[in-house]
Amino acid sequence: MRVLVLDTSAFIMGFNPTGSGGAYSVRSVEDELVQGTMPYLRFRLSREKGALVVRNPSDVARRTIEQQSAKTGEAGFVSEADRDVVALALDLKNEGLEPVVVSDDYAVQNLSEHLNLGFGSLANFGIVHRYNWIMVCPACHRRYRVPEKVCRVCGTELKRKVLSRTRVSNKAHPQSLGSNSTSSS
């Protein structure tokens, strides 16, 4: 069964989980939303109506996400809520469901792609390639692993650079996320 796993951007973009056939999110997404705003109220109301299941990911999934984000170079570029959303999707996949991570965040999409999780976006076209990143010193050209920020040799601020890229395979089409992607504000 296909289920949606919603990150903060899904609520900000007006996605309404009611009628989606199964929607999940995490507590840290609620914490990122500003109280009293429409996205926050949408989250709370969806949960209260039973259209949204709020669940924390397992510690095993969280560790997997930490390892994968370090390996791909996304560590330091994904928030706690982002990591929790992808970890929850991984848990749901391991339970036999077909999760689709709904996020407009390219780092979340890249991480999802690396873990063979479906993903889709609402406000942009989403990633076309999955990336592995490194940090490079623009002055002395030394290479470092993410999340290193400053060159240990010359002290220059490092820049993130693509190490490798491949075409994506698990992208869900935005129109398949449901016709309720906007709601009245």
Q: CB neighbours of 5 closer than 8 A, spacing ≥ 6?
A: 23, 24, 25, 85, 86, 88, 89, 92, 99, 100, 101, 102
Proportion of the chain above pLDDT 90, given as a percent: 61
- pLDDT for the residue 173: 44
**pTM for the full model?**
0.78
**Lowest mean per-residue pLDDT among 56-65, 118-127, 161-170:** 161-170
pLDDT digits (tens, 9 = 90+) for 16-26: 887 767 899 99
Mean pLDDT of 100-120: 92
Q: Domain-by-domain residue ranges, the chain?
A: 2-125+170-177
Mean pLDDT of 70-83: 90
The larger pLDDT score, comparing residue 142 to residue 179, is at: 142
As beta bridge partners, residue 98 has: 2
CATH architecture classification, 2-125+170-177: 3-Layer(aba) Sandwich (3.40)
